[in-house]
Amino acid sequence: MAGPKKFRMKTLQGKEAVTGYLFLLPALILLGIFLLYPMGAAFYYSLTDFYILRPGEENFVGLANFQTILGDAEFRQALINTIYFAVLVVPIQISVALGLALLVNRKLRFKVFFRTAYFSPVVMSLVVVSILWTFMYNPNEGLINELLGVFGIPAQPFLTSPDQAMNSIIAMSVWQGAGFQMMIFLAGLQNIPNHLYEAADIDGASKFQKFLHVTLPGLKNISVFIFITITIAAFKLLVQPMIMTQGGPLGSTKSLVYHIYEVGFNYRDVGYASAMAVVFTLMVLIITIVQRILAREEGA
Amino acid sequence: MEKNRTGKKILLYVITSLLAVIFLFPLVWMIMSSLKGDLLIFRDMTSFRAFLPPLPNEIDGGYFQNYVMAFERVNLMRYIMNSLIYTIGIIIFGLIVNSMAGYALARFNFPFRNFWLAVIIATLIIPPESIFLPLYVLVFNLGWVNTYTGLIVPFIANAFAIFLFRQFLLDFPRELEEAAKIDGCSQLGIFFKIIVPLTKPVFATVAIVLFINHWNDFLWPLVVANDDSMRTIQIGLQYFMNQPPVQWGQVMAALTVATVPMLIIFIFLQRYYVQGLAHTGSKN
């Protein structure tokens, strides 16, 4: 009796395995061809002198491309610009997003209106926003300088001065993106159980103490998630400088991805661009891992 | 005490309203300027009228003159159609492929299941920005440059969507599926007749996330669709802005047109979108 039953179990399991794989296979194949294979190809190209549209003629050059990176002043500047952007955007955007979430989480009339207003820039694409703000930042007749003029502040060369261009892009980026993280923070705030606040009330906690000991710990997981996504998004900076400043003035807004795009696509030097893309990928990976470890240690 | 509270309340409303102005004014300005001629845009910029529609006597050629001219000057209609085909293509194929993968990972027992799940989640870390060059070489060799296939196929499988479907289906009760199985329904039948109709919210959520991401896509359409007839709206906008002489009223009209589909989607499907966002944060 045990024999046939066991056999039936096995075929059932076998059937389930086959069905499972059939359901999973299309996604696996597509991910393999269009994500994992290009990732591998990027590593391979980075070791060659591959030029676009000249397939099969590449030579293996070992780590020469990576050596070139070390002496590439443009790469160094792009890296510094990108880090500068990230170091400023990440804390500012998180603070603004959290502040907005706390504001609209209060008892407030027209709450939905305010929430929608703060979120509205997210609905516009980065391209739309970049073109719009290029016009607003216009030094001679831009909207912002006209508004500043009302308060007696002299016109600023927002996008045309190397000292201000990146900061102007940062301000715009925070304005565009903060509403998105506000929504995620808001979901987090609503998940904090109310009885924790009630308990704190009984203990006579002040508003600030409640924020420090109930709200912030309650948002920990979400904050880590937001922190990682904003940092990685910051490292991918491309659209804003490409449209608003073309990397200028004096290369002050040229970002890493922009540099990779120019070298790979405009100068067609895929080998060297791939080497930079590999360095870029490793940096993103390291950021993710470091932030995860830090978050875990804090939680322990 | 009471006075103090009223004061605080007023301060709260002043702050929230001021912030609302800061976040909204570029959008309002964009839409209002799209209705004005360039001279009027610059004249209004020095006053509050920048955020108000033009008076009937201030416009010549009608309120929508800029829209008409923008559509005449570049192939805006074509760019919008391309964007719609591109995003809807990714949504349709993406929903099928990713929901099936998510279902497999949530419901079936098969060897290496957890391994594949780990691989799929790990691919989330790969930034698209780091693979666009080899992907372009691949798509070029396949002869897919300047085709919808080249725009759509590489982005059908989406690890985030698979993960979202899996998480949702893990919590989904099994009873109905088992009943259908007893009635002799095939596995594919169970999936399309029971799972899909009963899990519409997660399909809607994924569809909206995919729509917003790909409607706004820039880098991939920029490299793979360089022919004017294949440009998406985002690439078309950049091209339009770089066409001298810049007519700002027309540019504003084009920007408004590119933003409208997103606004509509967001207004009508806000609930699903916010659900998706909430899921993004809390399930990670």
- On chain A, the residues whose CB falls within 8 A of the CB of B111 are 17
Place of tokens 């372009």: B136
Per-residue pLDDT tens digits for B65-112: 999 999 999 999 999 999 999 999 999 999 999 999 999 999 888 889
B86 touches chain A (CB under 8 A): no
User: What is the rounded (10 degree) CA torsion for B242, B244, B248, B254?
Assistant: -50
A227 touches chain B (CB under 8 A): no
Q: Which of B9, B16, B114, B232 to mutate to test the interface with A (most CBs of A within 10 A)?
A: B16
Q: How far is B56 from chain A (nearest CA, A)?
A: 23
B259:A30 CB<8 A? no
Per-residue pLDDT tens digits for A79-113: 999 999 999 999 999 999 999 999 999 888 888 89
% of chain B beyond a pLDDT of 70: 96
Domain ranges of chain B: 2-62, 72-280
B268 touches chain A (CB under 8 A): no
B28 touches chain A (CB under 8 A): no
Better-predicted residue by pLDDT, B129 or A51: B129
B133:A274 CB<8 A? yes
Q: What is the pLDDT of residue A253?
A: 96
A17:B125 CB<8 A? no
Using pLDDT thresholds of 50, 70 and 90, give the confidence band for residue B198: confident
ipTM: 0.91
User: What is the rounded (10 degree) CA torsion for A285, A290, A293, A299?
Assistant: -120
The partner residue sitting opposite B108, judged by closest CB among A16, A53, A264, is: A16
Amino acid identity for residue B144 in this structure: W
pLDDT beyond 50 at B41: yes
Amino acid identity for residue B137 in this structure: V
- On chain A, the residues whose CB falls within 8 A of the CB of B29 are 136, 143
A80 touches chain B (CB under 8 A): no
Per-10-residue mean pLDDT of chain A, 300 residues long, equals 52 82 96 96 93 75 93 95 97 96 89 90 94 91 86 89 95 96 90 88 87 89 89 95 93 96 92 96 91 72
Adjacent-strand bridge partners of B183: none
A36:B138 CB<8 A? no
Q: How far is A165 from chain B (nearest CA, A)?
A: 19
A124:B234 CB<8 A? no
Distance separating the N- and C-terminal Cα atoms of chain A? 53
Q: How far is B43 from chain A (nearest CA, A)?
A: 10
Q: How far is A1 from chain B (nearest CA, A)?
A: 24
The residue among A30, A84, A46 whose CA lies nearest residue B159 is A30
The architecture in CATH of the region B72-280 reads: Orthogonal Bundle (1.10)
- On chain B, the residues whose CB falls within 8 A of the CB of A261 are 132, 219
What are the b/e assignments for B16-48, b being 16+ CB within 10 Å?
Answer: beebbeebbebbebbbbbbbbbbebbbebbeee
Domains and CATH numbers, chain A: 70-298 (1.10.3720.10)
A281:B153 CB<8 A? no
The partner residue sitting opposite A128, judged by closest CB among B12, B153, B255, is: B255
Q: What are phi and psi of A48, to 5 degrees?
A: -125, 175
- On chain A, the residues whose CB falls within 8 A of the CB of B109 are 13, 16-17, 20
Q: Helix A165-191 vs helix A220-235: angle between axes, to the nearest 10 degrees?
A: 150
